[in-house]
A = this chain, B = another copy of it.
C-alpha cells in the first residue's frame, strides 16, 4: 500500500529501493498507477506487479496495456470510497457501508442490502502487510507531518499497514514537532528513511 496522489507525496526512494531489491508478484493498493516512468508506475512498467487495487490508471497507459493483456489484475473503486476503505483498515473496523445508488455501473453486479431504508453495499476495509508513505518531517518517535497537498492518502496508508515505512525529508528529536501539527502519531510508524541520508 502506498501514499501519494499522482507523483505528489509519493515515496520515490522507497519505490526505487523496491525496484532495486527485485521484489516481484506484488499486490499494490493505492489511489492511482502513477506514470510509466515516475512514481509507483515504475514497478508496474518493470512487471513487478500482479494485482492492483486502485481508482484510476489514466496517467499510466502501460498499466492499461498490461490490464488488457491479462498480465495485471486491476480492481477499480470510486476514489472517495477507496480512501474511506483504507481509513477503515487504519482504525481497525472491518468495513463501511456505502450508498449503492452512487456507484453508477462501475460494479460487479452484486446485491445491495437495505440499511436504514437505503440500498447499501458492505465494503471491506483495506489493510496491507507493508505501507510506504512520504512525509516532510518526522521526530525520533515516528510522529509525521506532511507537506501541503502531499498529505493526500499518506496519513491513511500510515495507519492501515502492518508495517509502515516512512520516507521523510528530515528527522528531528522527539519534542521538537508541534504536537498540534502532528498528523500521524508515531505509534503507527515502524521504520523511517531519511531522504537526506541515514535511516532510523
Contact = CB atoms under 8 A, between A and B. Distances in A.
A169 to B, nearest CB: 14
Interface string A90-121: 01011111110000000000000101101010
A94 B99 contact: yes
A86 interface: no
Give the oligomeric copy count: 2
Given A180-B148, A180-B181, A95 B124 contact: no
A179 B98 CA distance: 30
Contacts of A95: 96-97, 115-116, 120
A33 interface: no
Nearest to A83: B91
A122 B179 CA distance: 34
A145 interface: yes
A38 to B, nearest CB: 25
A88 interface: yes
A115 B120 contact: no
A62 to B, nearest CB: 32
A162 B150 CA distance: 30
Given A145-B180, A148-B180, A181-B180, A94 B122 contact: no
Q: Could you say which of A88, A94, A148 has the most chain B C-beta atoms within 10 Å of its C-beta?
A: A94
Given A93-B97, A94-B97, 17 more contacts: A84-B91, A94-B98, A94-B118, A94-B120, A95-B97, A95-B115, A95-B116, A95-B120, A96-B97, A97-B97, A97-B122, A113-B122, A115-B122, A145-B180, A146-B180, A147-B180, A181-B181
Which are the 5 A-B pairs with shortest beta-carbon distances? A95-B97, A94-B97, A96-B96, A94-B120, A116-B124
22 contacts: A84-B91, A84-B93, A88-B96, A93-B96, A93-B97, A93-B99, A94-B98, A94-B99, A94-B115, A94-B118, A95-B115, A95-B120, A96-B96, A96-B97, A97-B122, A116-B124, A145-B180, A147-B180, A148-B179, A148-B180, A178-B181, A180-B181
